Amino acid sequence: MTNHFHLLLQIKGDIIYKSANTDRLKNAVGFSNNKWETIDKPDSVTDLSALKVPNPSKHFSHLFNSYSKYFNNKYNRHGALFERPFKRKLIDSEENLKQVVLYIHNNPVHHGFTDHPVEYGWSSYLSCVSNKQTKIKRQEVVDWFDNCSNFEFCHKSKLNLEKIGQYLGI
């Protein structure tokens, strides 16, 4: 896409961050010389103020701001790089999750960039149907559609992208 992108993320629940240099619990937002590791949140904690759960919106804000600074510096420009803040939508059911995956993979087809999701190089579709090494949890995504054959079949089916887009608020 030339002017937007879609990203589907699963936020881990019940996690906190712990500094590798100390036993004290710390907030992982921002940069530090410490190395951070993800640990499971204890079942019972006496001092709740020590728990700092990451804020995904803040992390994305840092990411977009850092990228904007890099881009502006590289191309000797200034000002905002992104027109408006990113949108986020809580996916509250497995059916909606599947629809969002189909929407994201078929968006380049909908906008006329390609005839099939497999042809778009900046999509996770090819990673899901291939056997190449990937950091995407391929099997988990494919399992949402029961198996790889059904995953591919659903992507070939006629989709109501307008309806899915309304759900997403696009």
pTM greater than 0.75 (yes/no)? no
Which residues have CB under 8 Å from 20's CB, separation 6+? 34, 35, 36, 37
Let me know: does 128 contact 151? Beta carbons within 8 Å: yes
For 66-79, how does the pLDDT look when each residue is reduced to its tens digit (9 = 90+)? 999 999 999 999 98
Per-chain mean pLDDT for the chain: 76
